[in-house]
Structure 1
Amino acid sequence: MLQALGGSVPPNTDHAVSVSLPTWRANVGYEEGEDWVMKKMVCGYPRFFVHPTIQKLAQEVVRRVGDPDLESATLFASLKSARICHSFVFSKIPAEQAYKVRIVNFIPSPHTEAGSTVTSSLSCIIHPKDYAPITKQVWQHSGNGISSRRGEFCLGALEDGFLVEDKGTPTAESISQRPCKGPRRYQSKNGPRKGSIGESPPKETTDDGRDYAQFIEERFGRNLSTSLANQAKQAVRRRIAGVLTADVELSEALETTSSEGRVAGMSEEDVLLYPSGMSAIFNAHQTLLATRGELPSICFGFPYTDTLKILQKWGPGCVFYGHGSSDDLDDLEARLKSGERFLGLFTEAPGNPLLKTPDLKRIRALADQYGFAVVVDETISNFLNINILPLADIVVSSLTKIFSGDSNVMGGSAVLNPNAQYYAALKQTYDREYEDIYWAEDAVFLERNSRDFVTRIEQINSTTENITAMLKESPLVKEVYYPKYSPTKPLYDSFRNPNGGYGGLFSVTFHSNPEAVAFYDTLEVLKGPSLGTNFTLSSPYVLLAHYGELDWAKSFNVDPDLVRISVGLEEVPDLRARFQRALDAVQSTKQ
């Protein structure tokens, strides 16, 4: 039943979002980079592990425009995203090394058919291999890297001559990035290679006579058309806006209209789509900086790791309140009264992995009084369970998780509250700065996956309450972290929807490391990073997210041996039996 080490999760899925790490030892081996684990990895969580197709595309790009012996490429869907990475790298390397890092753009051939057929550009950071850990930070934290489906498309288009290097009029910036400004060892050693751009003019057909429509049809079937992608995005935005609250097919989603979304006056135009949840957070922060200027942020509560990293690495930094307590709010209020001012407060409702809920009503009052924005990540709870939009300026979410459920596509969203204090200013900035880089085929899959979102949430809510009650009753369990059992339950309940539940994610701790290991290794579910899947998924979350800072995490009462579980659609008796066998293994360690 269990997936082998390094296999895709779910099994046999080309664009899987998770990867199998079936034992505690395998998770440690992954964090340590041990060969016995790394050599078996066929995929991984996309912001941490570059998909093999994207690796192949990056190698082909460097083969054409760089030096494969010395250089690597980090790939983005737009020039804007690439420039963010470019600037970040420049801030981390000596000024005299700047010439070694450049942007190369690929664009659709002039003869590529337009209209209903999808095209893609590709912006590449070409850099010395030694700089890969720097560009990887941007790939991971910003969430703006290309998806594996876009990578598959671009690789095919590049190989077939439908994606060509942009040879447009050079700007001062692009001139400064050209490799000829550096030593000869950073130039292509052999001149134009076979198949490199510039050897021959762009062509309307490939050598075997295929045209672009035939290329699309043969490689990607009927999933790739502009009209279908736009329809899918519209349906997704309607679901997120709350104007669709039932399971419906695409055609009905496009026909259904409602005057009332999550808050009065809201429409699907207030929903923005991104290639990942972290991209939604990153761009919310970028948008606030562009709207309100260079002010520090607040990170409130123990957050998902990359949220804190974004606030620390871009802009003027942040104040971190890792406990997310009333004492922390007292301290924040004292800072505000003394004259300190902030860009925005970023928080999760509830938090990951302790499932604590922040006091959003008090935060909202402070934001209104002292003028900062409130950005809330609702990924774990989702908008069918709670409605926190009235208390936020921006609500962000990872659509990769339960909204999709199938764990085979990435996506993210940002929702603007039309009644919030900064709405007009933020809307103006988003209208100016937002670019839709959500790949067409990803949108089609996300829309299909989310059609039964409502029904799945109801079942998962019910099942999770059953399983957490079972574990709560066991003396073998030290603590169950779940909104229903949290000291912050009244805060969660204050904005829980009438039919809303407590979600499908919980964490559990035991009285010793051997007990936690026995539970994890014995639990008969798929195991790997991510959450919100239609199948039950488990991971030693703290080990994976904070391996290099376990003592730091522990200082915020986050147990290094915590096991996080995301409940799926399995039948309750089946799941209870699996959890009981894992508890029996815990009992055996005591004997």
Structure 2
Amino acid sequence: MLYQELPTEIGDPIPANTPHAISVNLPTWQDNIDYEEAHERVISRMSNGYPRFFIHNQIKKLMSICEQKFAKETESCLLFPNHSTAHRCRIYIRQYYLSEKFVSPVCIRLAELTVVPLDENISTSFHESVTLHVVLFPKDAFPIAKSFWQHTGVGISSRLAEYALGLMQAKQDEQYTKIPTKRRSSFKIRYCNPQISSPKRISPTDITFSEHSEKVEENCYVEERYGRNLPILFANKAKIALKRRIAGVLGIEKNGDNLDEVISRPIDTNERGVNGITENDVYLFPTGMSSIFHAHQLLLEAFQPKKSICFGFPYIDTLKILEKFGPGCHFFGNGSSEDIDTIENLLMSGEQILALFCEFPSNPLCKSADLKRLRELADKYNFSIVIDETIGNFINVEVLKWADIMVSSLSKIFSGDSNVMGGSMVLNPQRRYYDTLKKVIEIEYEDLLWGEDAIVLERNSRTFRERILKINENTEEIYELLRKNPKVKKIYYPKQITSEIYLQYKRSQGGYGGLFSITFHSNLASQQFFDALPIAKGPSLGTNFTLACPYTILAHYLELDWASKYGVESGLVRVSVGLEDKEILLKAFQKALDSISDE
């Protein structure tokens, strides 16, 4: 039996029966192609999807409410957690909508909707007010607005949407007694328009929406009542614990440690290898991509805007952020020593750089960047280095010392349960730009990580150390099986790819991580292997269960030739290994290998 119950239908959430799952079941190669081509067979069955690419049903309900009250018949909307991100979305839509449509400027409007509990003095699950920032735009601009949502990762979370709907439902339904602690609420709406000088008040009784799901109530009750989650009142403590864990100052945690113990523990360890680091150098974000987006924005704000460098073939939206939100970037997609030579020549010629962004190792090719050489160039030519450690993680590698800023997706192995989004940014207090960056971020930073998401992340991450070590072991076993099989063309895994560089940063107790990619001698072989592999299949990585996807098809379907120039073949299969018994996993992968026909 595999670690995770597999969903049975296309479009079902992964994990199965999980309201806030962040992956979705696409079990065959053709399913993934049909998804990319928007075939009705697949799209009509999508009840879930990766949150930056798929708008959760709870968020859709809120969008419908906002469109009902704010939008013209020709308009759609998206929802954001604060004004600045909504304003940035408006700027983005204006820039790309006008450039594509060649029409006169349109009015892209902002509105606010605030939901306030009736009695704020009672400590219950519903005690916080929620303000939604609404961006209204022409319906045919929705794909552009959606690309902003995808690239930046700053949209509202599904748990925030669920919470807001619960408040609204409580107001409209006086019999709302499924959970005894919940109560009625009121809400107010403020409408902002560039052409209107004063807010327009709208009666809350005018709001209509479908009945809030009883299943949502049940999920909330079970999670809080039986100890899986703490009530939202503990969100601030959960965030402190998260920051301390990410800063690497907690050491080995014990079973039974409570939040008060975690946040009050004296700092007597440092797993980051950087003197002086504390939780005050850690900043939380609603998604990993949001942390990358805000790292770039921080640098643009702190220094004179210049082009950045994207080093190595990155996850797709990192490159889009650097290209679309600022002066642009230089792309060195191979991430090789020859690329570093070219960068050095570029800098010697007088080109000035804001920052270099890289992953360690990279996704999906698992290449490791020569951080020491890049650091020498950064110090000599006055630019910052931003390292994404999502794939490596600080249990396996020690790379913060080479970075000015470290970013990571907490949605992945740090959480493991594939049921919550989050991201982090860490400033290195030993780098010369630290004081400048610290000054700017203390002014600009807004904590947009929804409290319930923080609570889930904190709970999930308590065991991340032991999970990583187990996954390291499982992955090496699978690697040994695959590398000996003649049907396999190439394996991309840190132990195989640029291993001499990876070993320079590998911690003594660390391993090679849980991610690898694999190619075969034909696309047919890739499809046969993928279709026969009896594990969960969908987007995302770093899950406690083994998860695979045809990476290039999902991430670069409209640019396959471009991706292939950097070694990312169309038949590449990416695998994220989980916690299953290794014998079960070895049998699963052997079965998939056996399914490949002789050619």
Length-normalised TM-score, structure 1: 0.90
Q: Aligned partners of 1:284, 1:113: CA distance in 2, in Å? A: 35
Does residue 62 of structure 2 align to residue 57 of structure 1?
yes
List aligned pairs for 1:42-121, cutoff 5 A. Answer: 42-67=47-72, 69-94=73-98, 98-109=105-116, 113=120, 117-121=127-131
CA contact (8 A) 2:487 2:593 kept: yes
Say yes or no: does 1:505 pair with 2:515. yes
1:179 and 1:467 map into 2 onto residues whose CA distance is 63
Q: Partner of 2:177 in structure 1?
A: none
Are the aligned partners of 1:355 and 1:506 in contact in 2 as well (CA < 8 Å)? Answer: yes
- SS, match of residue 565 in structure 1: strand
Q: Matched residues in 1 for 2:19 and 2:369: separation?
A: 38
2:23 maps to amino acid = S
Letter in 1 for 2:313: F
1:284 aligns with 2:295: yes
Partner of 1:12: 17
Q: Which amino acid aligns with 2:476?
A: E
SS in 2 for 1:406: coil
Contact kept, 8 Å, 1:276 with 1:400, in 2: the verdict is: yes
Over the matched positions of the two proteins, sequence identity in percent amounts to 48
**Residue 195 (structure 2) aligns with:** 176
Letter in 1 for 2:572: L
Q: How far apart in 1 are the matches of 2:119 and 2:332? A: 52
Name 1:185's counterpart in structure 2: none
Report the CA distance between 1:120 and its aligned residue.
2.0
Tell me, in whole angstroms, the C-alpha distance in 2 between the residues paired with 1:29 and 1:57: 29
Q: Which residue of 2 aligns with 1:256?
A: 265
> What secondary structure sits across from 1:331 in the alignment?
helix
Amino acid paired to 1:166: R
Question: 2:431 pairs with 420, 433, 438, which one?
Answer: 420
Q: Which amino acid letter does the alignment assign opposite residue 77 of structure 1?
A: P
1:164 aligned partner: 188
Task: Give the corresponding residue for 1:310.
Answer: 321
- Report the Cα distance in structure 1 between the residues aligned to 2:251 and 2:463, rounded to whole angstroms: 10
Matched residue SS, 1:93? helix
Q: Which runs of 5+ in 2 are unaligned?
A: 172-184, 209-216
Please give the alpha-carbon distance, in whole angstroms, between the structure 2 residues aligned to 1:114 and 1:437.
23
| Two-structure CA RMSD over aligned residues (Å) | 2.5
* 2:488 counterpart of 1:480: no
Which of 237, 244, 247 is residue 241 of structure 1 equivalent to? 247
Q: Which amino acid aligns with 1:70?
A: T
**What amino acid does structure 2 have at the position aligned with 1:54?**
I
Which residue of structure 2 lines up, in the alignment, with residue 211 of structure 1? none
Contact 2:6 2:14 in 1 (8 A): no
* Matched AA of 2:189: E
Matches within 5 A, 1:221-240: 227-240=233-246
Q: Please list, as runs of the form range in 1=range in 2, the aligned pairs for 1:91-490 lying within 5 A after superposition.
A: 91-94=95-98, 98-109=105-116, 113=120, 117-159=127-169, 160=171, 162-166=186-190, 174-176=193-195, 195-196=205-206, 227-248=233-254, 249-251=257-259, 252-261=261-270, 262=272, 263-486=274-497, 488-490=498-500
**What is the CA distance between 1:154 and its match in structure 2?**
1.6
Partner of 1:207 in structure 2?
none
Q: For 2:364 and 2:432, how far apart are their aligned partners in 1? A: 30
* Pairwise CA distance, 1:163: 3.4
Query: Is 2:573 the partner of 1:563?
Result: yes
Check the 8 A contact 1:100/1:177 in 2, yes or no.
no
1:3-48 alpha-carbon deviations (Å, 9 max, x no partner)? 2211000000000000000000000000000000001100000000
Q: Contact between 1:270 and 1:417, CA under 8 Å: does it hold in 2?
A: yes
| Cα displacement (A) at 1:253 | 1.6
SS at match of 2:495: helix
Whole-Å separation in 1 of the counterparts to 2:531 and 2:287? 30
> Which letter does structure 2 place at the counterpart of 1:561?
G
Deviations 1:511-558 (A, max 9, x none): 011110000000000000000000000000011000000000001111
> After alignment, is 433-442 or 2-11 more displaced?
2-11
| Residue matched to 1:210 | none
Paired AA for residue 25 in structure 2: S
* Residue equivalent to 2:586: 576
Q: Is the 8 A contact 1:260 1:266 kept in 2?
A: no
Aligned twin of 1:209: none
CA distance in 1, matches of 2:29, 2:414: 28
Q: Against the structure 1 CA distance between its residues 583 and 301, is the aligned structure 2 distance closer, same or farther, given a 3 Å change threshold?
A: same
Distance 1:175 1:430 in 2: 28
Aligned partner of 2:26 in structure 1 is: 21
The question of whether the paired residues in 2 share the 8 Å contact of 1:154 and 1:163 is answered with no
Q: Is the 8 A contact 2:10 2:42 kept in 1?
A: yes
Instruction: Quote the Cα distance in structure 1 between the aligned partners of 2:375 and 2:363.
Output: 21
| Residue identity matched to 1:104 | A
Find the aligned partners of 2:314 and 2:563 in 1 and give their Cα distance: 11
Kindly indicate whether the alpha-carbon contact (under 8 Å) linking 1:232 and 1:443 is maintained by their aligned counterparts in 2: yes
Shift of 1:166: 2.3
Deviates more, 1:306-315 or 1:88-97: 88-97
Q: Does residue 493 of the first structure (1) align with residue 497 of the second (2)?
A: no
The aligned counterpart of 2:551 is 541
Alignment partner of 1:40 out of 37, 40, 45: 45
Range 539-548 or range 223-232, more displaced: 223-232
Partners of 1:552 and 1:494 in 2: CA distance: 31
Q: Contact (CA 8 Å) 1:483, 1:502: kept in 2 or not?
A: yes
1:433-453 Cα offsets, whole Å, 9 max, x none, are 000010000001010101111
